[in-house]
């Protein structure tokens, strides 16, 4: 897939006010400071489509971007460890939950994981919640450029094996990415393109 247009549409915290166009949506979410904004900018070939920040918790709303005029990329607030108040965290969790439960246009969630780290309880719990609620998702491992090439696939496979050893019968699909080296860009966009093709066939 070639990105020909990427347009910011809206930010809000009310799922009912999200765009009501019958277009497929892909939601990007992960722990604070996982490299979500950098990944989105790399995929969309834009320098500042999503706002990057050294301070965790920068994204605090549901942000919709219309891509190629036929699908939405949704940038969701990070979960865990963001430097925001407990009250704000509760609000984030509420509308993140509502988004995944109520958003009929959502066809896939992408859970971002920093490939350098061991499995974190907050990530595992969130993925288990998605599975329990029948929300389709895939894992995106970020920051692969921070590891030596021969350890990247090993770390990813160890992570997936951890999932299989816990509550998962089948491993989620995963992608390995680096915003710095543009690793995984084509694979991710082709995956989205294939799902879009099936979506529009059925609509």
CB of 83 within 8 A of CB of 56? yes
| pLDDT at 177 (0 to 100) | 98
CATH topology of domain 6-202: Rossmann fold (3.40.50)
In degrees, rounded to 5, the angle at the alpha carbon of residue 30 between the alpha carbons of residues 6 and 151 is 105
Provide the angle, in degrees to the nearest 10, between the axes of the packed helices 36-44 and 185-202: 70
| pLDDT at 95 (0 to 100) | 80
| pLDDT at 56 (0 to 100) | 41
Rounded distance between C-alpha atoms, residue 168 and residue 162, angstroms: 9
Domain ranges of the chain: 6-202
| pLDDT at 106 (0 to 100) | 96
Structure tokens belonging to residue 189 = 């966009």
Burial of 9-24, coded b for 16+ CB within 10 Å and e otherwise, reads eeeebebeebeeeebb
pTM for the structure as a whole: 0.89
Looking only at the bridges linking them, the beta strands covering 106-114 and 137-142 are parallel
CB of 104 within 8 A of CB of 134? no
| pLDDT at 79 (0 to 100) | 73
| pLDDT at 198 (0 to 100) | 93
Q: Determine which helix (DSSP H) or strand (DSSP E) holds 110, and give its type and residue range.
A: strand 106-114
10-residue stretch averages of pLDDT, the chain, 203 residues long: 93 91 96 90 85 49 93 87 54 79 95 95 89 94 95 95 89 95 97 95 79
């Amino acid at each position: 897939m070639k990105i020909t247009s990427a347009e910011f549409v809206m930010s809000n915290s009310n799922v009912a006010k999200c765009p009501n166009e019958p277009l497929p949506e892909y939601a990007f979410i992960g722990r604070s400071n996982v490299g979500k904004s950098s990944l989105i900018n790399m995929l969309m070939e834009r320098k500042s489509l999503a706002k990057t920040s050294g301070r965790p918790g920068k994204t605090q709303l549901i942000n919709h971007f219309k891509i190629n005029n036929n699908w939405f990329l949704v940038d969701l607030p990070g979960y865990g460890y963001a430097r925001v108040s407990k009250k704000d965290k509760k609000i984030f969790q509420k509308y993140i939950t509502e988004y995944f439960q109520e958003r009929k246009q959502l066809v896939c969630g992408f859970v971002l994981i920093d490939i350098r780290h061991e499995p974190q309880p907050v990530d595992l719990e969130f993925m288990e919640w998605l599975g329990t609620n029948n929300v389709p998702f895939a894992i995106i491992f970020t920051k692969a450029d921070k590891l030596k090439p021969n350890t990247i696939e090993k770390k990813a496979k160890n992570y997936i094996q951890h999932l299989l050893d816990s509550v998962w019968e089948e491993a989620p699909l995963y992608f390995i990415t680096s915003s710095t080296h543009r690793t995984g860009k084509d694979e991710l966009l082709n995956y989205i393109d294939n799902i879009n093709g099936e979506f529009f066939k059925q609509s």
